Structure 1
Amino acid sequence: MKIASLLPAPALAFGALAFLIPAAYAQTATPAASAPSADPVAALVSQLDLEKYKATIKGLTHFGDRRQGTERNRKALDWIEAQLKAYGCTNVERLQYQYTQAAPKPAGAAMPAQARTAPPGGRGGPAGQGGSILFGNRIATGVNTDPMLQPDEKIRALDAEQTPVGASLRENVYCTKVGTTHPEEMYIVSAHMDGIGFGEAANDDGSGTALVMELARILNAPGVTTERSIRFALWNNEETGLNGARAYVEQRKDLQGIESPKGSGNYPEPKWLGMIQHDMLLWDHGMPVPKLDASGKQVLDAKGHPVFVISKEQRLEADVNIEFQSNSKQADASAKLAWVLHAANNQYASNYPAFVGPHMTNTDSTPFMDLVPSISVRENERGMQIGAGWDPNWHQPTDVFSTYSDKDFMLGLNAAQTTLAAVAQLSGANIKK
C-alpha cells in the first residue's frame, strides 16, 4: 500500500499553502482505478526499474566525485553523452562556457560560504537559505576538503586530481525529445553531474543525474511521442555556484521560440514552459537525535557540546520534497507546477508521498526561477533540513554507493516516477501501438 493512502488529506499539503492548489490540477489526482485502461502515463512509469536506476548511479560513481575541471569530470560527460545516444537521444549537444577557479585562500583566511559548518549542536538557529528557518536538533554541515578522510584507497586515488586554478572551458550536456505538435515549446528536466567531497557523489548528484538519464531512456524509446518538446539537461559547476546553469540561461534565454532557419520547423531553443531540477534524492533518515550512553545520558564531545546522530534506517515518514521559491517572480506559476508533480505522485508513485514547500534554493533551478516556472525535487528541504544536518553524507567522503540501502534508492525511484508522470502529462506523451 502506498504511504500516501495512510495519511490524512491535510498532511499531503503544505499547511497554509494548500490554497495554492488550482482546481484544474487537483482534478488530475483522481485514483488510478478510475483512469482509462489504456493509460500511456502508467505504461511509461511502469518502465522505471529499481535495478536500472541503481545501475545508472553505479555507472556514474566509476568517475569518483566528478569534480568540475578534472579529467574524471570530462570522462563522466563523455559517458553520459554515450548513454543518452544509446537510449535513442541522437541530438545530444554540449554548451560551453568559461569558468575561472580562484587560487586557494591562505591559511587563516575567511572560509568560503559553501564550506562553513553549522554549530555542533543545540536547537534553533539563524535564518536558513531561501528564507527557511533551521530548527530542531542540528549537527555540523559543510564541505569536506581533505582527501585523506576518504578511507577507500581506490576512491581516494580516483579523486586525487584537483580542479586547476585559473580560467578553463567547461561543458554542460543535454539532449531533446522534439515535440510532434508543438516543437517550439518545451519542459526542461535536469540535474547536476558534478560533485565534491572526495566520495563518489552517489547522492549529490548521481541520484538526480541517473533520474534524468532514466527519463531520457524511457521517453526516447521507439513508439513514444510527445506533443511538446522535453530537454534532458545535465549541468556542470553546480557546486561552485550554479555556473553551468547560469551559463545556459545567459546564452539561451533570448533564443526561445525562434525558428532557425526560418521555415524549417526547427527550434534550437524552444520556449521554456517549466523547469524541473533534481538534486539529492536518496536520504531521508530524519532529524538528528541525541546520542545516549548505556545509562541513557546525553553524550558530550571533548568541548562539552551535545553529540547528535542520524538513524541508519530511513524514517517511516520519508517523502519526496517538491520546492518552489516563494519570493521569485514566477512564484505563483511555480507553485502550480509543484502541485502538478504532487498530483502525479499521488496517482503514479509506488511507495512514498510528496510534500510541497516554498523554499527552493541552492540548486540549478535558481537561475531560471524569475524567467519560467521552476521547481526542484529533493530528499529533504534544503534550508530547514539539509542545512540542519539531516543528511550527514552531504559533501562528505561517505557519499558513496555502498552507503545507501534499497529503501534509499527506492525513494529516488519514486521521485523519478513523480517527475516522469507529471512531464508525460504536461508534454502530451503517447505510445504508438
Structure 2
Amino acid sequence: MNDRLAQPKTKRVLRIISVVTALLLASPVLAQPAARTVDPVRVLVKRLDLERYKATIKGLTQFGDRRQGTARNRAAIDWIEGQLKSYGCTNTERLTYTFGDEPVHRVAPARAVVDIGSDEPGLSVGGGRSRGATLQTGVNSNPNAQPDARVRALNTPPAIPGPREEVYCTKIGTGHPGEMYIISAHMDGIGFGEAANDDGSGTALVMELARVFSSPDIQTDRSIRFILWNNEETGLNGAKAYVDQRAALQGKESPAGSGRYPEPKWLGVIQHDMMLFDHGMPRADGSMSPVQRPEADVNIEFQSASKRAAQSQELAWALHAANERYATDYPAAVGRHMTNTDSTPFMDLAPAVSLRENDRGAQVGSGWDPQWHQPTDLYTTYSDKDFLLGLNAAQTTLSATARLAGATLR
C-alpha cells in the first residue's frame, strides 16, 4: 500500500484511540483508584481498646477476690451476666453444680512435681524445667496480710459448701451453628487481694471478646461460646462440671428439626489465665524487676501428653500466626506444658490450649509472678504496659478465633 494513502488512516485510528481513552478516564468508576478489600479481622481487632479492658478489670475488682462459695462471688457472677447482656450477648445461661469444702492451700517448694493434670493448688506441675533463681510459691490464707481495710473486710466471709453457678453466652454461627469454639477464663480468685491478674485479666479479656463479637454487624460461620468458669482455684471444678454435664450433648440438634444446638461440637477450647505480669525471673536476692521485661510475650500452651496433642498444637500455632499478623506490641511463644487451668478437663476430648503471661510450670510455678495468690494482686499493682500485654493476648485470641470461626462484616 502507498505510504501516503496509509498515513491518513493511521491518524484517524490514533484520534479514535485518544478519544476513547479520554472517555474512559472521565468515567467516575475508572477515574478513582480501586477500593482496597476490607479485612474484617483487622476491623474487629481495632475495636479492642486498652481503657475499656482496664475498666472491665477494675469493675471485677469491686468484688474483691471473688472467692467461690461466697456472696461476693455470686454478686460478681450477676455483674458479669449483666455486662454480657449489655454487649448484646443476650442468650446468657448458667450451669449449676454443687461443691463442698475447699481444699487446704499449702505453701509448696517451687519445683514440686506431680502427675500431669494435677490441680492441687500451689504446685508447679506439668513439665517444663525452671532455670535461674526460683522462689517458693503458695497461697496466702491470712486475711490480716491484706493492709487495705476495705479489701480485707470485703474478703473476710469464708466459702460455704453448696450450690455453685457459672455464666456463659454464645455467638450463634450462621453456617454451622452445631460447631463452636470455646473462649474461657475463670472468674474466681483467692489470696485476699482483688484477683486483678488471677484471673480478672483473663475474665475481662473474654468479656471484651464477647462484646466485640456480639456487635450486630458481625456474623460468624461457626458458633463461639464465652464462658466464665467458677471454682478454678479449688481444682478446676467448674470446668469439670461443665464437661461432665455437657460433653455427651455435643452436636445434638434439640428439639429435632429446630436448627438449634444447645451444645455445639467443641472445635477448640482457648483458656486465659493470668495475662498481665511478665517482668522476668526473680533476681538472686529474690527481688523482681519493677517493669515489664523487653522480652515479654504471650505464652500459648498445649499439653503434649494429651490425647488431642496434635490438634491442640495446630490450634496453638493458629493463635501464634494470628498474633504475628494482628497483635500490636507483644509477640507470642508456643509451649507444650499446658497444665493447672480450665482447659485441662477438655484436653482429651477436643483441641485445647491456654494463654498466659508466662509458662505455667517453669515460670509461674517458680516465682515469676510474686502477686500470684497474694494480697498484692490488686488493680493498682499493674502498669499500663502490664495491661497492654493482656490486651495483646486479647488481640491474639480475637483474631485467631475470627479467622477460625469465619467472621465477616454485614
Q: Indicate the TM-score class for this superposition, using the shorter chain for normalisation.
A: 0.7 to 0.9
Q: Show the 5 A alignment for 1:302-313.
A: 308-313=286-291
1:95 to 2:95 alignment: yes
Contact 1:281-1:412 at 8 Å conserved across structures? yes
Corresponding residue for residue 423 of structure 1: 401
CA distance in structure 2 between the aligned counterparts of 1:126 and 1:339, rounded to whole angstroms: 27
Query: 1:264 pairs with 258, 264, 273, which one?
Result: 258
Q: Show the 5 A alignment for 1:148-297.
A: 148-164=144-160, 167-291=161-285
Contact 2:53-2:204 at 8 Å conserved across structures? yes
Contact 1:204-1:399 at 8 Å conserved across structures? yes
Aligned length: 366
Partner SS state of residue 80, structure 2: helix
1:116 to 2:107 alignment: yes
Corresponding residue for residue 74 of structure 1: 74
Contact 2:113-2:125 at 8 Å conserved across structures? no
Can you list the C-alpha shifts for 1:19-70, whole angstroms capped at 9, x where unaligned?
A: xxxxxxxxxxxxxxxxx64000000000000000000000000000000000
Contact 1:236-1:245 at 8 Å conserved across structures? yes
1:338 to 2:316 alignment: yes
Alpha-carbon distance, 1:129 to partner: 0.9
Alpha-carbon distance, 1:136 to partner: 1.7
CA distance in structure 2 between the aligned counterparts of 1:134 and 1:316, rounded to whole angstroms: 20
Contact 1:64-1:159 at 8 Å conserved across structures? yes
Contact 2:168-2:228 at 8 Å conserved across structures? yes
Percent identity, aligned pairs only, is: 66
CA distance in structure 2 between the aligned counterparts of 1:235 and 1:96, rounded to whole angstroms: 11
Contact 1:126-1:133 at 8 Å conserved across structures? no
1:144 to 2:140 alignment: yes
Contact 1:178-1:226 at 8 Å conserved across structures? yes
Corresponding residue for residue 51 of structure 1: 51
Amino acid at match of 2:59: G
Corresponding residue for residue 19 of structure 1: none
CA distance in structure 2 between the aligned counterparts of 1:77 and 1:92, rounded to whole angstroms: 11
Amino acid at match of 1:168: G
Amino acid at match of 1:360: M
Can you list the C-alpha shifts for 1:246-301, whole angstroms capped at 9, x where unaligned?
A: 0000000000000000000000000000000000000000001123xxxxxxxxxx
Can you list the C-alpha shifts for 1:209-251, whole angstroms capped at 9, x where unaligned?
A: 0000000000001111000000000000000000000000000
Alpha-carbon distance, 1:186 to partner: 0.2
Contact 1:126-1:134 at 8 Å conserved across structures? no
Partner SS state of residue 141, structure 2: coil
CA distance in structure 1 between the aligned counterparts of 2:265 and 2:135, rounded to whole angstroms: 43
CA distance in structure 1 between the aligned counterparts of 2:201 and 2:166, rounded to whole angstroms: 17
Partner SS state of residue 100, structure 2: strand
Alpha-carbon distance, 1:116 to partner: 2.3
Corresponding residue for residue 408 of structure 1: 386
Alpha-carbon distance, 1:126 to partner: 5.9
CA distance in structure 2 between the aligned counterparts of 1:37 and 1:195, rounded to whole angstroms: 44
Q: TM-score, normalised by structure 1?
A: 0.83
Amino acid at match of 2:136: A
Can you list the C-alpha shifts for 1:331-389, whole angstroms capped at 9, x where unaligned?
A: 00000000000000000000000000000000000000000000000000010000100
Partner SS state of residue 130, structure 1: coil
Structure 2 residue runs without a partner (length 5+): 1-35, 115-123
1:323 to 2:286 alignment: no
Partner SS state of residue 101, structure 1: coil
Amino acid at match of 1:143: V
CA distance in structure 2 between the aligned counterparts of 1:126 and 1:58, rounded to whole angstroms: 35
Can you list the C-alpha shifts for 1:181-209, whole angstroms capped at 9, x where unaligned?
A: 00000000000000000000000000000
Moved more, 125-134 or 60-69: 125-134
Alpha-carbon distance, 1:160 to partner: 1.1
Amino acid at match of 1:228: R
Contact 2:112-2:125 at 8 Å conserved across structures? no
Alpha-carbon distance, 1:125 to partner: 7.5
CA distance in structure 1 between the aligned counterparts of 2:132 and 2:236, rounded to whole angstroms: 29
Partner SS state of residue 410, structure 1: helix
Contact 2:138-2:373 at 8 Å conserved across structures? yes
Moved more, 83-92 or 125-134: 125-134
Q: Show the 5 A alignment for 1:128-139.
A: 128-139=124-135
Corresponding residue for residue 373 of structure 2: 395
Partner SS state of residue 261, structure 1: coil
Q: Which has the larger radius of gyration?
A: 2
Amino acid at match of 1:54: K
Contact 1:125-1:133 at 8 Å conserved across structures? no
CA distance in structure 2 between the aligned counterparts of 1:214 and 1:72, rounded to whole angstroms: 22
Partner SS state of residue 285, structure 1: coil
CA distance in structure 2 between the aligned counterparts of 1:378 and 1:137, rounded to whole angstroms: 20
Partner SS state of residue 180, structure 2: strand
Query: 1:352 pairs with 303, 306, 330, which one?
Result: 330
Corresponding residue for residue 5 of structure 1: none
1:372 to 2:350 alignment: yes
CA distance in structure 1 between the aligned counterparts of 2:59 and 2:310, rounded to whole angstroms: 38
